[in-house]
A and B are shown apart, each in its own frame.
Chain A
């Protein structure tokens, strides 16, 4: 399988009044084509920041401090900033205009809250028209509207609604529009940031099913960012667990759920209520969330880890191959 995305040593910092916070701290990741990677962790662990970093839209006051993000570009793109050739390209080396033309075209990003992600003053059709014009200024209005209608139909929305405004749609339908906008130009990579968190479970199931269909149909590669492990269990091929801006474990979905290696992963899975075991008591992870402005030299999880050792306080564990075929960053496994 070919490699689609390669991230090496990515760090994103937020410079605030209280200090510099490392939203993402030395993350390395590989993603193969046509696979779905789940990115999971608690709030503030850096998964959204990582997703935003890939499209180089980290919100102020954050900025990408260092690292390499290489994407295997499928189509040659001609744009104002210069030609982008096919093959593995380091996104950090592209200028602003080149990056802009990649967004929406090669990489699509879907946001969490469909209620606020659409421009309330523009009709749905106009959204599509704008999108297509932004990437190909020669596109005619009628052609764009036709395409928009096609896409809406494919999503299960009546094509006449292309003239309607966002507030006339329900949450689930808006999310489908977002997905439609994301896939309109047939990108290779789709990053979904908590796509179903603000939807009720029935709609969530519909959306997930639809996304799975689309993925198969368009040969998509997906990164699914969520804190909901249940969703990932259904849709992801492999899962990466993040904590305090670092990746602590990567594994195939099955292996992760069956035998989680990292103590944090174990604690996460423990804390999810199990319908089949109603008598199990709810557990939680003791201690407080990490302060990203004060990175400690050792493992960031050590204050809360039940298996903490002395070395954990001094040396940060690197990702090493685990016995389940994935990667894990923990001194329990690296012979330390």
Chain B
């Protein structure tokens, strides 16, 4: 085929870009380079932390992740070569991959029982997530880029976002094992020390190491975000489906309720609810979830109303399909892409709202390391010029929100492409 371009991975040169993308290849390759640099810095940072951690397990955890990724990568390469050489069928190759996945995971669990009797589930999650992300990055290096072939820059943006998010999730999950100092311990260093050797990000007013707090500070935020999005999704989507599908007075009534909730400035309502419910992760999540239910409702409803009118749905009704069938087979697949995009934006909003609520004093308990609290407490010491106490936690919040936003933007273009040019 004329015009097909071979994409050179770093180690091997396999992978082919279809002709059509050639014209954009320069920009796409720059974006690809950006994603790669991002991935590498994440990896290097994590390795660094692992080697320097206070717990003896840091290097083992990070090492475990790498081992996992390398095993998966090798399996992938081997099965690919076998399939290409015709010695095995595609489906068999995939099967081997799945077996390897499960097998190695089990091995990791068993090992974890031997090394660290505590919290094997967390270890498993951490190593799995980190391992899979790392595997993907390695495949990217090896194989050229699968999404480039179809959606180019938009797919890369989504990936950059997902990479950032996975990186932060992994870092938070293994934080106990890779922190150089105990993040909650007071007085491990002098108070308000600027970034210096020994304390690369400085210390807080209470003498806590800021680096450790920055590594471990995402737990609450992630928990709150995940919980609130889950609640929001599980209420908003079915509500939207039911109301728009039923129509009539039901629809009007629920719509009215949703519009009223939507009319409030989100933060104000969340503040009111959180003030009433009291402190705590769950309460925080509920307060945030309540505020965003109307968004899901609206999106789902507008999609359903559009799809309901489409000729092929009418045809199904005429042919006697039952309501449930129509809902599940016709409508649901159409609304899922928008719902997923909304979810990523929702995550970003949840994180920002959680940070805001913490700032006004309605946040989670103070003893757990949290970026929001570091921001709030550190703010008072800005006058004395202690810039590091707020900069790093704040930057992490921005990064996390940015990751979700980028993922949302990219997914938006990938899943719901608009015609251009």
- Of A15-23, A25-33, A238-246, the one touching chain B: A15-23
B152 nearest in chain A by CB position: A17
A16 pairs with B19, CB closer than 8 A = no
B3 at the interface (CB under 8 A from A): yes
- Report Cα–Cα, A17/B23, bound state, in Å: 6
- Report Cα–Cα, A15/B21, bound state, in Å: 11
A17 pairs with B421, CB closer than 8 A = yes
Q: Which of B2, B19, B421 contacts A61 (CB 8 A)?
A: B421
B20 at the interface (CB under 8 A from A): yes
- Report Cα–Cα, A19/B19, bound state, in Å: 7
Per-position 1/0 for B9-53, Cβ under 8 A of A: 000000000011111100000000000000000000000000000
Residues of chain B contacted by A19 (CB below 8 angstroms): 3, 19-20, 22-23
- Report Cα–Cα, A274/B209, bound state, in Å: 92
Residues of chain A contacted by B21 (CB below 8 angstroms): 17
Chain B min CB distance to A283 (Å): 34
Chain A min CB distance to B151 (Å): 10
Interface size on A, residues (CB 8 A): 8
Chain B min CB distance to A288 (Å): 19
Residues of chain A contacted by B19 (CB below 8 angstroms): 18-19
Interface size on B, residues (CB 8 A): 10
Residues of chain B contacted by A16 (CB below 8 angstroms): 23, 421
Residues of chain B contacted by A20 (CB below 8 angstroms): 23
- Report Cα–Cα, A81/B19, bound state, in Å: 41
- Report Cα–Cα, A294/B19, bound state, in Å: 11
- Report Cα–Cα, A106/B142, bound state, in Å: 58
Chain A min CB distance to B403 (Å): 27
Chain B min CB distance to A21 (Å): 10
Q: Which of B2, B3, B20 contacts A17 (CB 8 A)?
A: B20
Per-position 1/0 for A17-52, Cβ under 8 A of B: 111100000000000000000000000000000000
Interface of B is mostly: helix
- Report Cα–Cα, A100/B21, bound state, in Å: 34
Residues of chain A contacted by B20 (CB below 8 angstroms): 17-19
- Report Cα–Cα, A19/B21, bound state, in Å: 8
Residues of chain A contacted by B2 (CB below 8 angstroms): 294
- Report Cα–Cα, A294/B2, bound state, in Å: 10
Chain B min CB distance to A332 (Å): 29
Residues of chain B contacted by A61 (CB below 8 angstroms): 421
Residues of chain A contacted by B3 (CB below 8 angstroms): 19
| Most A Cβ at <10 Å: residue of B20, B22, B23, B152 | B23
Residues of chain A contacted by B23 (CB below 8 angstroms): 15-17, 19-20
Residues of chain A contacted by B24 (CB below 8 angstroms): 17
Chain B min CB distance to A51 (Å): 21
A294 nearest in chain B by CB position: B2
Residues of chain B contacted by A17 (CB below 8 angstroms): 20-21, 23-24, 152, 421
A18 nearest in chain B by CB position: B20
Chain B min CB distance to A295 (Å): 11
Residues of chain B contacted by A18 (CB below 8 angstroms): 19-20
Chain A min CB distance to B170 (Å): 35
Those of B325-383 within 8 Å (CB) of chain A: none
Those of B375-421 within 8 Å (CB) of chain A: 421
Residues of chain A contacted by B421 (CB below 8 angstroms): 16-17, 61
- Report Cα–Cα, A18/B24, bound state, in Å: 10
Chain A min CB distance to B328 (Å): 35
Chain B min CB distance to A62 (Å): 11
B24 nearest in chain A by CB position: A17
- Report Cα–Cα, A17/B420, bound state, in Å: 11
Residues of chain A contacted by B22 (CB below 8 angstroms): 19
- Report Cα–Cα, A56/B108, bound state, in Å: 65
- Report Cα–Cα, A159/B157, bound state, in Å: 57
- Report Cα–Cα, A18/B19, bound state, in Å: 7
Those of A57-71 within 8 Å (CB) of chain B: 61
| Most B Cβ at <10 Å: residue of A16, A18, A61 | A18
Chain B min CB distance to A322 (Å): 34
B3 nearest in chain A by CB position: A19
Chain B min CB distance to A45 (Å): 21
- Report Cα–Cα, A15/B19, bound state, in Å: 12
A20 nearest in chain B by CB position: B23
- Report Cα–Cα, A18/B21, bound state, in Å: 7
- Report Cα–Cα, A19/B4, bound state, in Å: 11
- Report Cα–Cα, A15/B152, bound state, in Å: 15
Chain A min CB distance to B3 (Å): 7
Per-position 1/0 for A272-301, Cβ under 8 A of B: 000000000000000000000010000000
- Report Cα–Cα, A18/B421, bound state, in Å: 11
- Report Cα–Cα, A227/B421, bound state, in Å: 25
Chain B min CB distance to A78 (Å): 39
- Report Cα–Cα, A314/B22, bound state, in Å: 26
- Report Cα–Cα, A17/B28, bound state, in Å: 12
Chain B min CB distance to A286 (Å): 26
Chain A min CB distance to B263 (Å): 34
B22 nearest in chain A by CB position: A19
- Report Cα–Cα, A178/B82, bound state, in Å: 68
- Report Cα–Cα, A307/B152, bound state, in Å: 44
- Report Cα–Cα, A20/B21, bound state, in Å: 11
- Report Cα–Cα, A73/B3, bound state, in Å: 43
Could you write out 19 A-B pairs with CB less than 8 Å apart?
Answer: A15-B23, A16-B23, A16-B421, A17-B20, A17-B21, A17-B23, A17-B24, A17-B152, A17-B421, A18-B19, A18-B20, A19-B3, A19-B19, A19-B20, A19-B22, A19-B23, A20-B23, A61-B421, A294-B2
Q: 5 nearest interchain CB pairs? A: A18-B20, A15-B23, A17-B20, A19-B19, A19-B20
Q: Which residues of B contact A (CB under 8 A)?
A: 2-3, 19-24, 152, 421
Q: A17-B21, A17-B24, A18-B19 are in contact. List 15 more A-B contacts (CB 8 A).
A: A15-B23, A16-B23, A16-B421, A17-B20, A17-B152, A17-B421, A18-B20, A19-B3, A19-B19, A19-B20, A19-B22, A19-B23, A20-B23, A61-B421, A294-B2
